[in-house]
């Protein structure tokens, strides 16, 4: 509460529960991250524990940046390229907890598929919000939903969650009345 009110600065983000936890955050608006004249390789190297260019390029290659793509200036990247850079930053940091806010926004199908594969194989904890049904269904094994100040917490896949509860079905089912049908 003191951090939220501004009375206290946040710490380094490391917590000890017998193991040190580090986290990476993927903001929906990442504009501030890309206000520099750095190339993609230079930008990512600052977040890497290993400053070797080939090591950094390996992470960029996993996010579909090939050859001279790493020499592009970060301040001219498209929305999709920025998302892929942010994901590379999260991967290279070695965090065991990642928080993603709509990670598929601005990505093409090939990039979404690569992201989905990466999320499925990530060994740590992922907390994310997404409107991409396929990513949620194949990645999530626990669903949280907030309704009227109450938390619904289910250990299940997304499709099983939607199929399991009549109240959930009502929120996602729209009905057409006779009046609506005659408005055409």
Q: Residue 15's pLDDT band (boundaries 50, 70, 90)?
A: very low
Residue 6: the pLDDT is 60
Q: List, for residues 130-144, the tens digit of each pLDDT value.
A: 989 999 999 999 998
Q: Residue 74's pLDDT band (boundaries 50, 70, 90)?
A: very high
Residue 1: the pLDDT is 44
Q: Which residue has the higher pLDDT, 7 or 3?
A: 7
Residue 154 CA to residue 143 CA, distance in Å, equals 5
Query: Could you tell me the CA-to-CA distances from 67 to 116, 123, 127 in Å, in that order?
Result: 23, 29, 32
Q: List, for residues 77-130, the tens digit of each pLDDT value.
A: 998 899 889 888 888 887 888 888 888 888 888 888 888 888 888 888 889 999
What percentage of the chain has pLDDT greater than the value 70? 77
Answer yes or no: is pLDDT of 73 > 60.
yes
Residue 59: the pLDDT is 82
CB atoms within 10 A of CB 87: 24
Three-state DSSP class for residue 16 = strand
**Phi, psi values for residue 32, rounded to 5°:** -60, -30
Q: Residue 164's pLDDT band (boundaries 50, 70, 90)?
A: confident
Q: Which residues fall within 8 angstroms of residue 124, CB to CB, at 6 or more apart?
A: 95, 96, 97, 98
Residue 44: the pLDDT is 93
Q: Which residues pair with 97 in a beta bridge?
A: 23, 125
Look at the pTM and tell me if it is higher than 0.85.
no
Can you read off the two tokens belonging to residue 118? 């990466």
């Amino acid at each position: 509460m003191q951090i939220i009110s501004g009375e206290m600065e946040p710490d380094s983000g490391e917590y000890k529960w017998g193991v040190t936890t580090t986290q990476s955050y993927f903001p929906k608006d990442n504009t501030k991250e890309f206000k520099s004249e750095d190339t993609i390789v230079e930008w990512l190297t600052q977040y890497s524990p290993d400053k070797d260019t080939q090591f950094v390029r390996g992470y960029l290659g996993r996010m579909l940046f090939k050859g001279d793509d790493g020499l592009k200036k970060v301040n001219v990247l498209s929305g999709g390229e920025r998302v892929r850079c942010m994901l590379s930053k999260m991967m290279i940091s070695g965090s065991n907890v990642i928080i993603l806010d709509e990670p598929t926004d601005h990505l093409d199908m090939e990039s979404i598929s690569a992201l989905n594969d990466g999320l499925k194989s990530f060994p740590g904890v992922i907390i994310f919000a997404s409107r991409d049904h396929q990513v949620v269904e194949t990645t999530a094994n626990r669903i949280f939903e907030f309704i009227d100040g109450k938390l619904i917490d289910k250990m299940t896949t997304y499709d099983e969650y939607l199929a399991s509860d009549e109240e959930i079905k009502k929120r996602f089912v729209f009905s057409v009345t006779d009046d609506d049908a005659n408005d055409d």
